[in-house]
């Protein structure tokens, strides 16, 4: 029914329109066609002037109205070191094109109006004018040369890759349908190799674990996770794609580059304002205390007048600017620029993706093996534990477990990697000549108590022997004893508890 | 219409006498007593070989596609302007493109939003502004204005239309696929376009899209070869190249560009097909998609972009040059003055055509090509501003000192110049790679190309239609409706596209299904509503044009004079009801250039009038 009504009303409108056309033609016939035609001509000439004036005013007024929302000006000057030059180039171009735009529009419509058809008007037979033509070929050519030179100088500076001895951090952005996955190098400062055929459900980037540079890399793929960058430090972004083309777009930093499967691209830029400072810029007040940019003081949530002001909620955003499928419009990540100290502290908190998600799973080629990073980590942890024990006054804090000194089942034979912690212990004792320790072995309550006692004694003795023989520690500084199942520290009825109870530890007796 | 149809100082030329006296006898009608080409309905209206009928076929097919393409833009503008509104009401038309939830609220699915955007671009660029514009007016005007009986090969000309028709039929069929038509953007960049796993439209939709466009390339080549041959070989006696109207120069150069660039597009499509079907790796490398790693290695998606834009950039001149030609002619005729700087206009066309082949990578500054290469493309791109500026200044100077008749045709020609200035100037921003870092693929680009090659080309086309409608159908279009059409459209078009500059300047990328996913993109809600409303109004005005067009074919005011606009060119020497072969007797011979308006106090001197004693041809300067 509504469809029928719509069709009917369209037909009706069409008839009315056709009638309007017919009526004006008839009216013209009655009044004398020539006279009517002249009147119409004059009216249209007048409209062209009105149009020109209103149009030019509307262009200028709307530009002023939106000036605080668009980039390049006022609060929105670039947030990166290279951006300033681009902003200046934009404004120079706007200046020249603005003049041409206004002047040509005035001339176009003014001439049309001024030379509107009049009875008996003699037209000017002017097929060409060489001098004029040379002028208006040369003037654009000169202006264009100026813009080209300014543009290319800026372009080649911005697109130059990092220099050989330049200080920069390299991060990686990988576009995939429909999210951005970021990768930071870990402490080694280098990103590891990756290959698309290594990609699995867990290993979304296809990192190659054979390349040890990968083992400390930090991967961030959740859309809600903030990407932090340090201020005033050059960031070289390695831009890659997993499936189709994407584009790494950071509008506030004047950064944009396609992400291409099989062909990494790069963009290097230096953020030069923190998120906090940028927010303050948007929320700035003038001398009288009025907002400089009122639109940024509106509530961030238009539905809720009590919500925070827009400037307080401002964030730098990462978008995709190359059509990549149905979710193209939703690949958002937030970038936060912070001070270098804050960034370092944040980086320290980040965990290596390999250690978090791959280590000792079936995908881990090093499953069951000990990695040097882990050895280092264990040494560090051990040192920390010893330092804490030395600093403490309490008796119970002086006991330190040798977590990684483990033995073959039912024997006092050390396992493959037990020596690392024993070396650490030897090192500690060497650097602190005053330390004397008591080594003790313990078991759970499975099996015969006598057997447990002798096994724990033997194991404590193994540690003692290792330290005195291989570690070259004076025997007088050590004692060793086995306690079997007599000193449990956890519940022996659970497997976890029994695991806790099977342990070798030492106590700092003197220091 | 009186003073326009019958100029005040009616010249005393009698074309029939002059043609009979000085014309060229080719014995055409002695051999064509019985018109074997147009003997029945089928050969007259359907499989016609008459260039004038083929022009009408191109035009009406173009209008059909223009309507479809514009209607699609209204649907996706509704999504962008009113994303929360219930769209269930268009479900009867769009079917499963609209998903209706339990509460009865209809939403346009993202895949179909992208399908609409892609189809809108493809249809408008190829079917409307290439075939509908160049196809129509090259066919209509080349033989008539150079003084030829028909095209060099009427048969190929007919085939050119029917390949275009087939291309349209295949594209139309793709709209009804269950997986939807192609949805990867009109540029069809692989891997998105090459892998069915990447997007639902990249399956059968993409296959039909390629088949359609390959057919279209065939159509363009058949037409183009014909246009070039006709202009070179079938000019009448005295019609030297420097006496050709600017329309013909524009169509001639356009055809050459098309012949040189479209085959490259076809080869790019052919290679995409190989990647899709034969497992080759021209454009694909190291892709993991849909849970599996593909075997393709060593290809480069950038190679496709080079091939595509090697056509793609000349293509925008294939669209705009014919419009420029039409506008030059219309402005001169209706301001009753010679076009200013005729030779400069021709050289500008040639310069633009040449440069159009060496600027393609300015679409790819941010595509990962070596930044060093971009230096050359920046230089060549910004050089184009010089011939373009010359053309603009010449059009403005053409109005200076004239006697301007504000007919619909003339209004659209003036509007074209305004749009070409506005859109051309923003090109100076985008062509400078450093600024393009920020502007690339934002709404600023959308505003730029819609104004400079979308709306402007349409304005050129409208100027042409209003001006040559009397030649095509022997009747006038209604001028009142024409002027309403013009004023509404120019105001509306600027209302649509001017604000998009601001959206783009805020960094908002194009091809976003909705804007609320990003803070920086979500601040223009009111503006997007405004744009959508303006788009609906402009769409309604184009419906008004279509009504006027078809009404006027049968009911428009009859043309009573053979040369209603008082023009100098040869098409106005044929009978009002121009038959097959164009001239009933001899072909007129040409003695002067096409722009003798207001010379020596006369209102105009047609091209077939011999030079007076001691008179110099105005074009020779």
pLDDT tens per residue across span B382-401: 999 999 999 999 999 999 99
**Distance from C-alpha of B139 to C-alpha of B157, rounded to nearest angstrom:** 8
Report residue A116's pLDDT band, with 50, 70 and 90 as the boundaries. very high
Q: Using the predicted structure, report yes or no on whether residue B475 has a pLDDT greater than 50.
A: yes
- Using an 8 Å Cβ cutoff, are B219 and B131 in contact? yes
Report residue B2's pLDDT band, with 50, 70 and 90 as the boundaries. very low
Backbone angles phi, psi at B487, to 5 degrees: -60, -40
> B153-186, pLDDT tens digit by residue?
999 999 999 999 999 999 999 999 999 999 999 9
Report residue A25's pLDDT band, with 50, 70 and 90 as the boundaries. confident
Across the interface, whether the CB atoms of A116 and B406 are under 8 A apart is answered yes
| Per-residue pLDDT, B337 | 93
- Using an 8 Å Cβ cutoff, are A334 and A318 in contact? yes
> A454-510, pLDDT tens digit by residue?
999 999 999 999 999 988 888 889 999 999 888 888 888 888 888 888 899 999 888
Q: Using the predicted structure, report yes or no on whether residue B36 has a pLDDT greater than 80.
A: no
User: How far out from the chain centre does Cα B64 lie?
Assistant: 14
> Which of B195, B302, B438 is opposite residue A256, by nearest beta carbon?
B438
Bridge-partner residues for A249, per DSSP? Answer: A256, A319
Across the interface, whether the CB atoms of B337 and A314 are under 8 A apart is answered no
**Distance from C-alpha of A505 to C-alpha of A201, rounded to nearest angstrom:** 41
Q: Return the structure tokens found at B196.
A: 């069915």
Asked which of A23-37, B247-261, B549-563 is least confident by mean pLDDT, the reply is A23-37
Query: Is A290 touching B (CB cutoff 8 A)?
Result: no
> A260-318, pLDDT tens digit by residue?
999 999 999 999 999 999 999 999 999 998 999 988 998 988 888 888 999 999 999 99
Mutation pick from A50, A136, A138 vs chain B, by most beta carbons of B within 10 Å, is A136
**Distance from C-alpha of B553 to C-alpha of A353, rounded to nearest angstrom:** 72
Residues in chain A closer than 8 A to B309 (CB atoms): none
**Distance from C-alpha of B333 to C-alpha of B466, rounded to nearest angstrom:** 13
Report residue B38's pLDDT band, with 50, 70 and 90 as the boundaries. low
Q: What is the mean pLDDT of chain A?
A: 90
Q: Using the predicted structure, report yes or no on whether residue B366 has a pLDDT greater than 90.
A: yes
Backbone angles phi, psi at B442, to 5 degrees: -110, 180
CB contacts under 8 A, B 148-187 vs A, are: 183-185
Bridge-partner residues for A299, per DSSP? Answer: A309
Q: What percent of chain A has pLDDT over 70?
A: 99
Across the interface, whether the CB atoms of A127 and B341 are under 8 A apart is answered yes
| Per-residue pLDDT, A327 | 94
CB atoms within 10 A of CB B385: 22
Let me know the angle formed at the C-alpha of B102 by B99 and B104, rounded to the nearest 5 degrees.
65
Report residue B21's pLDDT band, with 50, 70 and 90 as the boundaries. confident
User: How far out from the chain centre does Cα A463 lie?
Assistant: 49
Mutation pick from A58, A119, A155 vs chain B, by most beta carbons of B within 10 Å, is A155
CB atoms within 10 A of CB A348: 8
DSSP string, A387-416: HHHHH--SSGGGEEE-TT--B-TTS--B-T
Query: What mean pLDDT is predicted for residues A325-338?
Result: 95
Q: How close does chain B come to A258, measured CA to CA in Å? A: 5
Helix (H, G, I), strand (E, B) or coil at A339: coil
| Per-residue pLDDT, A372 | 82
Handedness of CA B320, B321, B325, B326 (dihedral sign): negative
| Per-residue pLDDT, A339 | 96
Q: Using the predicted structure, report yes or no on whether residue B419 has a pLDDT greater than 70.
A: yes
What pTM did the predictor assign? 0.91
Query: Is A20 touching B (CB cutoff 8 A)?
Result: yes
Q: How close does chain B come to A185, measured CA to CA in Å? A: 23
Q: Which of B72, B95, B65 is nearest to B171 (CA)?
A: B65
Q: How far is CA B79 from CA B110, B163, B525, B601, in A?
A: 10, 34, 12, 58
**Distance from C-alpha of B435 to C-alpha of B437, rounded to nearest angstrom:** 5
Q: Return the structure tokens found at A357.
A: 């998600």
Report residue B37's pLDDT band, with 50, 70 and 90 as the boundaries. low
| Per-residue pLDDT, B88 | 87
Q: Which of B145, B147, B13, B24 is nearest to B609 (CA)?
A: B13
CB contacts under 8 A, A 82-121 vs B, are: 85-86, 89-90, 93-94, 96-97, 100-101, 104-105, 107-109, 111-112, 115-121
| Per-residue pLDDT, B148 | 94
Q: Using the predicted structure, report yes or no on whether residue A254 has a pLDDT greater than 90.
A: yes
Consecutive H or E run containing A131: helix A130-159
Report residue A232's pLDDT band, with 50, 70 and 90 as the boundaries. very high
Q: How close does chain B come to A125, measured CA to CA in Å? A: 6
Q: Which of B214, B205, B230, B231 is nearest to B166 (CA)?
A: B214
Bridge-based pairing of strands A168-176 and A234-241 is: parallel
Residues in chain A closer than 8 A to B200 (CB atoms): 326
- Using an 8 Å Cβ cutoff, are B134 and B58 in contact? no
CB contacts < 8 A (A, B): 379
Q: Using the predicted structure, report yes or no on whether residue A22 has a pLDDT greater than 80.
A: no
A19 CB-near residues (< 8 Å, 6+ apart):
none
| Per-residue pLDDT, B12 | 63
Across the interface, whether the CB atoms of A313 and B598 are under 8 A apart is answered no
Which tops the pLDDT comparison, B96 or B58?
Answer: B58
Q: Using the predicted structure, report yes or no on whether residue A27 has a pLDDT greater than 90.
A: no
Query: Is A197 touching B (CB cutoff 8 A)?
Result: yes
**Distance from C-alpha of A26 to C-alpha of B581, rounded to nearest angstrom:** 36
Across the interface, whether the CB atoms of B400 and A197 are under 8 A apart is answered no
Query: What mean pLDDT is predicted for residues B591-602?
Result: 89
**Distance from C-alpha of B300 to C-alpha of B280, rounded to nearest angstrom:** 12
- Using an 8 Å Cβ cutoff, are B605 and B572 in contact? no
> Which of A40, A63, A326 is opposite residue B111, by nearest beta carbon?
A326
Q: Using the predicted structure, report yes or no on whether residue B1 has a pLDDT greater than 80.
A: no
Bridge-partner residues for A179, per DSSP? Answer: A176
> Which of B286, B505, B618 is opposite residue A261, by nearest beta carbon?
B286
Residue A292, judged by CB atoms within 10 A of its CB (0-12, 13-18, 19+), counts as middle
Report residue A214's pLDDT band, with 50, 70 and 90 as the boundaries. very high
> A401-433, pLDDT tens digit by residue?
998 888 888 888 888 888 899 999 999 888 888
DSSP string, B470-533: HHHHSBPPPHHHHHHHHHHHHHHHHHHHHHHHHHHHTTPBSS-S-STTSTTTGGGHHHHHHHHH
CB contacts under 8 A, B 473-492 vs A, are: 478-481, 483, 487, 490-491
Q: How close does chain B come to A187, measured CA to CA in Å? A: 29
**Distance from C-alpha of A241 to C-alpha of B399, rounded to nearest angstrom:** 54
- Using an 8 Å Cβ cutoff, are A430 and A473 in contact? yes
Asked which of B23-27, B545-549, B585-589 is least confident by mean pLDDT, the reply is B23-27
Query: What mean pLDDT is predicted for residues A4-14?
Result: 78
């Amino acid at each position: 029914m509504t469809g029928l009504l719509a069709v009917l009303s369209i037909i009706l409108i069409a008839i009315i329109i056709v009638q309007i056309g017919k009526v004006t033609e008839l009216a013209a016939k009655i009044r004398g066609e020539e006279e009517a035609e002249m009147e119409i001509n004059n009216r249209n000439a007048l409209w062209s002037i009105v149009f020109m004036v209103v149009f030019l005013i509307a262009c200028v007024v709307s530009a002023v109205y939106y000036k605080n929302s668009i980039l390049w000006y006022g609060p929105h000057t670039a947030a990166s070191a290279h951006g300033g030059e681009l902003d200046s180039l934009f404004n120079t171009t706007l200046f020249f094109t603005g003049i041409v735009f206004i002047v040509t529009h005035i001339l176009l419509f003014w001439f049309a109006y001024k030379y509107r058809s009049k009875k008996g008007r003699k037209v000017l037979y002017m097929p060409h004018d060489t001098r004029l033509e040379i002028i208006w070929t040369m003037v654009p050519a000169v202006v264009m040369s100026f813009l080209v030179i300014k543009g290319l100088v800026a372009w080649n500076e911005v697109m130059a890759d990092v220099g050989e001895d330049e200080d920069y951090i390299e991060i990686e952005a990988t576009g995939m349908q429909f999210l951005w996955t970021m990768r930071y190098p870990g402490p080694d400062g280098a990103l590891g190799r990756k290959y698309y055929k290594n990609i699995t459900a867990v290993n979304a980037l296809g990192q190659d674990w054979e390349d040890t540079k990968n083992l400390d890399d930090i991967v961030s793929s959740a859309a809600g996770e903030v990407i932090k960058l340090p201020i005033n430090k050059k960031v070289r972004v390695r831009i890659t794609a997993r499936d189709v083309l994407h584009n790494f777009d950071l509008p506030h930093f004047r950064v944009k580059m396609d992400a291409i499967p099989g062909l990494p691209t790069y963009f290097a830029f230096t953020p030069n304002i923190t998120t906090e400072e940028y927010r303050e810029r948007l929320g700035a007040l003038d001398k009288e205390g009025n907002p400089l940019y009122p639109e940024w003081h509106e509530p961030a949530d238009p539905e809720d007048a009590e919500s925070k002001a827009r400037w307080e909620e401002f964030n730098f955003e990462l978008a995709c600017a190359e059509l990549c499928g149905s979710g193209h419009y939703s690949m958002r990540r937030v970038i936060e620029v912070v001070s270098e100290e804050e960034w370092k502290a944040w980086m320290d908190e980040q965990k290596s993706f390999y250690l978090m998600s791959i280590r000792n799973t079936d995908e881990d080629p090093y499953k069951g093996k000990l990695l040097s990073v882990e050895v280092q980590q264990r040494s560090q942890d051990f040192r920390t534990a010893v330092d804490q024990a030395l600093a403490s006054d309490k008796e119970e804090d002086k006991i330190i477990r040798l977590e990684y000194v483990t033995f073959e089942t039912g024997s006092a034979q050390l396992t493959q990697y037990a020596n690392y912690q024993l070396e650490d212990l030897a090192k500690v004792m060497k650097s602190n000549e005053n330390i004397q320790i008591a080594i003790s072995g313990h078991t759970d309550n499975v099996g015969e108590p006598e057997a447990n006692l002798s096994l724990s004694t033997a194991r404590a003795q193994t540690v003692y022997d290792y330290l005195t023989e291989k570690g070259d520690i004076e025997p007088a500084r050590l004692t060793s004893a086995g306690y079997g199942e007599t000193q449990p520290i956890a519940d022996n009825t659970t497997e976890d508890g029994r695991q806790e109870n099977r342990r070798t530890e030492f106590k700092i007796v003197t220091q | 219409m009186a003073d326009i149809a019958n100029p005040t100082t009616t010249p005393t030329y009698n074309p029939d006498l002059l043609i009979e006296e000085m014309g060229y006898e080719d014995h055409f009608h002695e051999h064509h007593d019985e018109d074997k080409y147009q003997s029945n309905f089928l050969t007259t209206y359907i499989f016609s070989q008459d260039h004038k009928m083929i022009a009408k076929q191109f035009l009406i097919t173009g209008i059909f596609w223009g309507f479809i393409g514009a209607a699609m833009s209204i649907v996706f503008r509704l999504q962008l302007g009113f994303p929360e509104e219930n769209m269930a009401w268009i479900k009867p038309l769009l079917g499963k493109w609209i998903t209706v939830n339990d509460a009865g609220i209809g939403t346009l699915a993202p895949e179909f939003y992208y399908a609409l955007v892609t189809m809108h671009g493809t249809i408008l660029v190829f079917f409307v502004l290439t075939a509908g514009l160049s196809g129509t007016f090259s066919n209509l005007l080349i033989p008539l204005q150079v003084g030829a009986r028909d095209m060099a090969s009427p048969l190929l000309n007919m085939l050119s239309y029917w390949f275009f028709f087939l291309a349209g039929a295949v594209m139309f069929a793709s709209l009804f696929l269950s997986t939807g038509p192609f949805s990867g953007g009109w540029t069809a960049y692989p891997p998105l376009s090459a892998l069915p796993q990447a997007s639902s439209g990249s399956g059968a939709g993409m296959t039909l899209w390629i088949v359609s466009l390959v057919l279209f390339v065939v159509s363009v080549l058949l037409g183009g070869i014909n246009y070039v041959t006709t202009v070179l070989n079938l000019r009448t006696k005295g019609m030297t190249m420097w006496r050709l109207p600017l329309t013909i120069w524009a169509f001639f150069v356009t055809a050459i560009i098309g012949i040189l660039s479209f085959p490259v597009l076809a080869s790019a499509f052919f290679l995409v097909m190989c990647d899709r079907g034969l497992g080759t790796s021209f454009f694909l490398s190291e892709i993991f998609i849909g849970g599996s790693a593909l075997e393709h290695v060593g290809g480069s998606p950038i190679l496709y972009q080079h091939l595509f834009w090697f056509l793609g950039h000349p293509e925008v001149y294939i669209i705009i040059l014919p419009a420029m030609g039409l506008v030059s002619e219309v402005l001169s005729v209706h301001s009753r003055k010679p076009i200013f700087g005729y030779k400069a206009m021709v050289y500008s066309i040639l310069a633009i055509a040449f440069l159009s082949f060496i600027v393609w990578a300015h679409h790819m500054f941010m595509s990962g090509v070596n930044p060093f290469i971009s230096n050359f493309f920046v230089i060549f791109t910004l050089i184009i501003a010089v011939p373009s500026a010359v053309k603009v200044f010449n059009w403005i100077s053409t109005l200076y000192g004239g006697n301007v008749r504000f007919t619909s045709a003339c209004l659209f020609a003036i509007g074209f110049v305004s749009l070409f200035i506005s859109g051309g100037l923003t090109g100076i921003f985008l062509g400078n790679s450093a600024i393009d870092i920020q502007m690339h693929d934002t709404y600023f680009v959308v505003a730029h190309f819609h104004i400079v090659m979308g709306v402007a080309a349409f304005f050129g086309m409208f100027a042409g239609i209003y001006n040559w409608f009397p030649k095509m159908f022997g009747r006038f279009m209604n001028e009142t409706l024409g002027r309403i059409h013009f004023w509404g459209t120019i105001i509306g078009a600027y209302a649509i596209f001017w604000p998009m500059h601001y959206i783009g300047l805020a960094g908002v990328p194009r091809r976003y299904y909705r804007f609320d996913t990003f803070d920086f993109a979500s601040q223009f809600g009111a503006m997007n509503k405004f744009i959508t409303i303006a788009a609906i109004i402009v769409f309604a005005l184009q419906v008004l044009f279509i009504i006027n067009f078809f009404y006027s074919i049968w009911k428009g005011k009859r043309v009573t004079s053979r040369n209603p606009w008082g023009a100098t060119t040869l098409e106005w020497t044929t009978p009002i009801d121009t038959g097959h072969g164009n001239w009933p007797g001899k072909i007129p011979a040409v003695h002067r250039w096409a722009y003798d308006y207001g010379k020596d106090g006369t209102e105009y001197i047609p091209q077939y009038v011999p030079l007076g004693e001691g008179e110099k041809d105005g074009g020779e300067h």
